[in-house]
């Protein structure tokens, strides 16, 4: 089964998040834990949609438990 890799625009279109917000998370991926969901191919950035969704669920859970999102 292949991975569901999406461009930033595709990911943002199918979510509640803006492209700018997604790009900020990608820019800070090493600090915020998103790095495992990111694939780079030359200048292109692709995001594994399943890993991104898992990351968002963890961040939302942290926020609800009083941690930083």
Residue 26 counted as domain residue? yes
Rg (CA), the chain: 12
Instruction: Report in angstroms the alpha-carbon separations of 11 from 22, 53, 54, 58, 64.
Output: 8, 10, 14, 18, 24
- Whole-angstrom distance, CA of residue 7 vs CA of residue 59: 21
Phi/psi at 14 (5° precision): -95, 15
Q: Which domain holds residue 49?
A: 5-64
Confidence band of 48 (pLDDT split at 50, 70, 90): very high
Domain count for the chain, please give it. 1
Report pLDDT digits (tens) over 18-39.
Answer: 999 999 999 999 999 999 999 9
Residue 29 counted as domain residue? yes
Q: What is the pTM of this model?
A: 0.83
What is the dihedral sign for C-alpha 6, 10, 13, 18? Answer: positive
């Amino acid at each position: 089964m292949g991975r569901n890799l999406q461009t930033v625009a595709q990911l943002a279109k199918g979510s509640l998040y803006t492209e700018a917000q997604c790009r900020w998370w990608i820019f800070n991926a090493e600090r915020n834990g998103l790095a495992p969901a990111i694939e780079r191919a030359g200048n292109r950035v692709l995001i594994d949609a399943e890993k991104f969704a898992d990351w968002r669920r963890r961040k939302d859970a942290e926020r609800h438990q009083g941690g930083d999102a």
